[in-house]
Amino acid sequence: MDDFTRLAIAGGIVALVLIIAVPWAIIRLRKRRREKLRRRGIKKYGH
The residue range of the domain holding 31 is 1-47
The Cα 22–Cα 15 span in angstroms is 11
Number of structural domains, the chain? 1
The alpha carbon dihedral of 15, 20, 21, 27 has a sign of positive
Number of H helices, E strands in the chain: 1, 0
Tell me the per-residue pLDDT of 1-47, one tens digit each, with 9 for 90 and over: 688 999 999 999 999 999 999 999 998 888 888 788 778 776 665 55
With 0.75 as the threshold, say if the pTM is over it.
Answer: no
- Phi and psi, residue 32, nearest 5°: -65, -40
pLDDT for the residue 47: 56
pLDDT for the residue 29: 85
